[in-house]
Structure formats: structure tokens, C-alpha cells
């Protein structure tokens, strides 16, 4: 943080120093628009969160444009396909052959670190450990944010406020309840995830549907693997020893993968609930919602972080159009444009979740439908193409 920076006025005040806030800040700074980012947590805390790892080409392009793509280009891994497995037998979906596209495996932690370094280089501030953040007059021409920073009450005046403060932030709740519509589905299970300093079991991700529940084999790099198991919501991390985790994973993935799985001591273990959620609209006056502040997807389609990036794309373009061309068309249509893409990613994440998990209320008929859908996917290039084009990311 640059302590001498004026934090009384800026053009765009950004609440939240996660991927959405940092990426937006970089794109605007590079376009000549002044920003201040305020973040509730310390930088160390933000960088210790283990989350997403699969980047769509659009996200990769934006990171390069933000001047934060160099290490990703060097250390990220291009994946040209993925495996789906049903009852311990796998088949591959070839993204490259079906769509010409691919995804990049690069951890959210690394990406966030790169964005912080790019921010540092720009000399503009991220104020960490701010408290009592309040949005004022967002529906007027003179919005401002009040917050406590280093023991002092601060007022930050601005032209616009970007609410990039995640699902539990203050921005969404600042929109009057009578104007906000919320759409939600909470799933009756969670994902138990571990990070393991062992080589990944496969060169590409394996999404496994099994009668015992879903499993995912993912990775961060050649020495770091990320594995997940579908578990009941009531389970706690303490119930799952590393050994129990590895045994259960072996039962759910293809036999060949189970045999070659390298196990070790986990270095992180957590359970995440699964939820689909959308808030409409994504703009109220001069306040914009961006990323998880406006929507949540279950991680089955690897869309959360990528959706935050596509919101940032639309919002950065809209604000640059305002400042450069005095044209507010992008601002006026931001909510509508962003939501059109959000709903498609919500649909895909819901579809993948429904396709691959066991649901407590599933009837025999539902199970047969799931089986038929997976069989169809295995045998039909058309069905695989539809999955692949959504997985690699719909165009912005």
C-alpha cells in the first residue's frame, strides 16, 4: 500500500481485492482511469485462499491485457480436453478437435498474486483490512464510500462504485430490497477437497460419476494435485482422514487411474457447499455488482472465476467508453449484457452438477435418465461439442 496516496477521491472506487476487483483495477488503470481498491482482509489472507484453477481463453486474454499474464503464460498448462468417467470407465472429450479451443490450468492463488504485483507496479493503492464499509448515495451523481482504515474513519468520493466484494460483501445488500430479485438453488451435498503435494493422476481433469457419488481429479502443477469428493452436507473435515479420502477416491475413479494414483499427506482440506445463485439487476445507479457479489455457481463447470472475469470485461469496457468517449451506452446496458452470459454459465454449471452427482431424492427413473444422458454424451459428437464449447467458455 502506498501510504501517501490520496484516498479522498477517485474515479472508480472498487470494493474487494479478490480476482474481480484486482483485474478491473488493472484494466482501468491501464486505460487511464484512476481507481482505489479497498479490501477487508490482509493480502496474506487473500493469497492463502485455495480456490479455482481452470481458466477460459477469454480470462487468459484479459489477464494478458491487464499486464499480469507473463507467469501464467510461462507456468500455466494448456488442456485440450477432459475425461468423463462413468462407473469406473472413462472417455475423453477433445476440446481442441471439437471446438478449436482449450483451457489453461493456473491456480487462482497464483493469478491473484500476479494481479497484486501488477497493481504494486502501477503505484495505485489497495487498502487492506478496512472495516465498516458503507456505500452512500449510489443512486445519485455523487456516490461515496465510508470505511474505517488504520483506526480512522475515511470518506472516499468517486464517480462510480464497483462492488467486487464476493458473496458475503456489502455491495449487493446496498441495493434496495424492493429492486433486487434473487434466484437460488442450494444443492443437498458438498465437495470435500484436498490439496496434495503429489503428481496429478492424469494429464487432464477427470470428472467421475459413480454410484457412491461424484469425484474430480484436478491439479495445479506437475507436483501439486487437487482432488474432490461429493460428500453429505453434514460431514465435517475431521471425519475424513487422508487415508479415508484416498480410499474413497480410488473407489469412484476409473480403475486405471485408481491403480496409478500417488497418495500423500494433504496440505489443505476443506468442505465447500454447492449453490447456484443470481441477483438481478447488476447495476443500481452508480453501483455495479461484479463477480461473486452478483452470482455463485457450483464448481462443477469451473465457471466461478471465469464468470467474474467476463463481468470485468463488460464493466471495464463500459467505464472506458464513458471516460474516453463520453458514451454511457455500456453503463446503461451493463446489467443486461452481463446477465445474459451469467445465465448461460449458470445453466452449464447446473447441468454438469445434475449430470454427475448422486442426489438423495433421485428415483430409479432419474438414475436411468442420468445414465442415458452420459451414454449419449459418450457416443455423440454433437453432444460432446455442446459440452466442450461451454466448458472452454462462451464468447464475451
Ligand X SMILES: Cc1cc2nc3c(=O)[nH]c(=O)nc-3n(C[C@H](O)[C@H](O)[C@H](O)COP(=O)(O)OP(=O)(O)OC[C@H]3O[C@@H](n4cnc5c(N)ncnc54)[C@H](O)[C@@H]3O)c2cc1C
Q: Which residues are catalytic?
A: 79, 207, 299, 303, 391
| Per-residue x/- track, 110-149, ligand X (CB under 6 A) | --------------------x--x----------------
Kindly identify the residues of this chain, within the stretch 249-278, that bind ligand X according to CB under 6 A: 272
The verdict on 38 binding ligand X (CB under 6 A) reads: yes
Helix, strand, coil share of the chain (percent; to 5):
40, 25, 35
Q: Are residues 294 and 152 in contact, defined by beta-carbon separation less than 8 angstroms?
A: no
Cα radius of gyration rounded to whole Å, the chain: 21
> Which span sits near ligand X by CB under 6 A: 1-9, 17-25, 62-70, 76-84?
17-25
The verdict on 62 binding ligand X (CB under 6 A) reads: no
Which residue, 272 or 381, is less far from ligand X as judged by CB? 272
Kindly identify the residues of this chain, within the stretch 355-384, that bind ligand X according to CB under 6 A: none
Sheet architecture: strand order including 160-163: 126-127, 35-38, 12-15, 160-163, 287-289, 283-284
Can you count the helices (H) and strands (E) in the chain?
12, 20
Which residue, 145 or 327, is less far from ligand X as judged by CB? 145
Distance CA 15, CA 155 (A): 13
The verdict on 230 binding ligand X (CB under 6 A) reads: no
> CB of residue 79 vs ligand X: minimum separation in angstroms?
14
> CB of residue 98 vs ligand X: minimum separation in angstroms?
21
Which residue, 293 or 320, is less far from ligand X as judged by CB? 293
| Cα 257-258-264 angle, rounded to 5 deg | 105
The verdict on 69 binding ligand X (CB under 6 A) reads: no
Kindly identify the residues of this chain, within the stretch 149-178, that bind ligand X according to CB under 6 A: 164-166, 168-170
> CB of residue 325 vs ligand X: minimum separation in angstroms?
27
Give the CA dihedral 312, 393, 295, 324, nearest 10 degrees. Answer: 20
The verdict on 18 binding ligand X (CB under 6 A) reads: yes
> CB of residue 15 vs ligand X: minimum separation in angstroms?
5
The verdict on 76 binding ligand X (CB under 6 A) reads: no
Look-up: residue for cell 447488476? 282
Q: Which of 7, 13, 16, 339 binds ligand X (CB under 6 A)?
A: 16
Distance CA 97, CA 217 (A): 22
Distance CA 301, CA 343 (A): 13
Residues forming contacts to ligand X in the complex (CB under 6 A) are 15-21, 38-41, 46, 51-53, 108, 130, 133, 164-166, 168-170, 272, 291-292, 299, 302-305, 308
Amino acid at each position: 500500500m502506498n501510504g501517501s496516496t490520496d484516498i479522498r477521491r477517485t474515479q472508480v472506487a472498487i470494493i474487494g481485492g479478490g480476482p474481480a476487483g484486482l483485474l478491473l483495477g488493472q484494466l482501468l488503470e491501464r486505460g487511464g482511469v484512476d481507481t482505489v481498491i479497498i479490501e477487508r482482509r490482509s493480502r496474506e489472507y487473500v493469497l492463502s485462499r485455495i480456490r479455482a484453477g481452470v481458466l477460459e481463453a477469454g480470462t487468459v486474454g484479459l489477464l494478458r491485457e491487464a499486464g499480469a499474464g507473463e507467469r501464467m503464460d510461462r507456468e500455466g498448462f494448456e488442456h485440450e480436453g477432459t475425461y468423463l468417467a462413468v462407473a469406473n470407465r472413462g472417455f475423453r472429450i477433445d476440446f481442441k478437435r471439437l471446438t478449436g479451443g482449450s483451457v489453461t490450468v493456473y491456480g487462482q492463488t497464483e493469478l491473484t498474486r500476479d494481479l497484486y504485483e501488477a497493481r504494486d507496479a502501477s503505484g495505485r493503492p489497495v487498502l487492506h483490512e478496512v472495516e465498516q464499509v458503507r456505500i452512500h448515495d449510489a443512486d445519485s451523481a455523487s456516490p461515496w464510500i465510508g470505511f474505517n482504515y488504520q483506526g480512522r474513519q475515511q470518506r472516499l468520493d468517486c464517480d462510480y462504485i464497483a462492488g467486487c466484494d464476493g458473496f458475503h460483501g456489502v455491495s449487493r445488500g446496498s441495493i434496495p430490497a424492493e429492486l433486487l430479485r434473487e434466484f437460488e438453488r442450494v444443492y443437498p451435498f458438498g465437495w470435500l477437497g484436498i490439496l496434495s503435494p503429489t503428481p496429478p493422476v492424469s494429464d487432464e481433469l477427470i470428472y467421475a460419476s459413480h454410484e457412491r457419488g461424484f469425484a474430480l481429479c484436478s491439479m495445479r502443477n506437475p507436483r501439486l494435485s487437487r482432488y474432490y469428493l461429493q460428500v453429505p452436507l453434514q460431514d465435517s473435515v475431521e471425519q475424513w482422514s487422508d487415508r479415508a479420502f484416498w480410499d474413497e477416491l480410488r473407489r469412484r475413479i476409473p480403475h486405471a487411474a485408481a491403480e496409478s494414483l500417488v497418495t500423500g499427506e494433504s496440505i489443505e482440506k476443506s468442505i465447500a457447499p454447492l449453490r447456484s445463485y443470481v441477483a438481478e439487476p447488476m447495476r443500481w445507479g452508480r453501483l455495479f455488482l461484479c463477480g461473486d457479489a452478483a452470482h455463485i455457481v457450483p464448481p462443477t463447470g469451473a465457471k466461478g472465476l471465469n464468470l467474474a472475469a467476463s463481468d470485468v470485461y463488460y464493466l471495464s469496457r463500459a467505464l472506458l467508453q464513458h471516460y474516453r468517449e463520453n458514451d454511457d451506452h455500456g453503463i446503461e446496458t451493463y446489467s443486461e449484457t452481463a446477465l445474459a452470459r451469467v445465465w448461460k454459465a449458470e445453466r452449464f454449471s447446473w447441468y454438469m452438477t445434475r449430470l454427475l452427482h448422486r442426489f438423495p431424492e433421485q428415483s430409479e427413473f432419474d438414475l436411468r435418465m442420468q445414465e442415458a444422458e452420459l451414454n449419449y454424451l459418450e457416443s455423440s459428437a454433437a453432444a460432446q461439442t455442446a459440452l466442450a464449447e461451454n466448458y472452454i467458455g462462451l464468447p464475451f
